[in-house]
A and B are shown apart, each in its own frame.
Chain A
């Protein structure tokens, strides 16, 4: 059982858990499920352009940013420049905060400081 869960992965398990919540709610209040799905679709439509932007940025970061570059500007040794980049990027980043988790995770794996991630968010 544990192996099966590990193979599915925490991210898919999270989504399955939410879908199950919908099923449970549906047994009790089907109208609420329809209303929730309408809100979900509305949100999805609104965030799609920003999501495309985020994925484009991830592609570009994969192409041009290596751990050495990220560490130099956004890593542990960074001084003022890293903070300024994080603050300005945070101000100008569009859309909901959760859209940026993927890009930040990618930059973190390349050496970005957690303090700068927090500043961006």
Chain B
């Protein structure tokens, strides 16, 4: 009985030790990412996004996806910006690519992702997500066109 208790305590201690190691490793990365997001949110103004689109139907979705990936912060902000972009006459495909990329691609946290999950994994995941943002945007507009 005593031996079982000691074993249990040792397991808890071991788990606690593992958690402390995790905290020690992840806190600087997490704080770094949050500080970077703060910086990007301050330096990149919302009006900036309206100026990056060219009006070219083929190029704008790609521009949307690229700048969506650079933007950081709450996804809800992307919906507000997306609404403003639509009002400014930016195509729906470009706005959708921008929003999908904002949510799925994280250039700001790419370094943190590389350090936690591996460089190759982070680059592949974000690269594929960037391309898929354009594909999803095109498919959404096509499908909504069929049913709308």
What residues of chain A have their CB less than 8 Å away from a CB belonging to chain B? 9-12, 14-15, 17-19, 21-22, 25, 32, 35-40, 43-44, 47, 51, 55, 58-60, 62-63, 97-99, 101-102, 104-106, 108, 114, 117-118, 121
Question: Secondary structure of the B side of the interface?
Answer: helix
Q: Give the number of residues in B that approach A within 8 Å (Cβ atoms).
A: 38
B39 interfacial contact with A, CB 8 Å: yes
**A40 contacts B35, CB within 8 Å?**
yes
**A37 contacts B38, CB within 8 Å?**
yes
A–B complex contacts, Cβ < 8 Å, 14 sampled: A14-B28, A14-B32, A19-B35, A37-B38, A39-B37, A39-B73, A40-B37, A40-B38, A43-B37, A55-B19, A62-B14, A97-B109, A98-B33, A104-B116
Number of A-B contacts (CB under 8 A): 113
**Of listed B12, B34, B37, B121, residue having the most chain A CB within 10 A:** B34
Beta-carbon nearest neighbor of A105 in chain B: B116
**B117 contacts A14, CB within 8 Å?**
no
Report the minimal beta-carbon distance from B37 to chain A, rounded to whole angstroms. Answer: 6
Complexed CA–CA distance, A47 and B35 (Å): 13
Complexed CA–CA distance, A117 and B12 (Å): 26
Q: Write out the residue numbers on chain A whose beta carbons fall within 8 Å of the beta carbon of B42.
A: 32, 35-36, 39
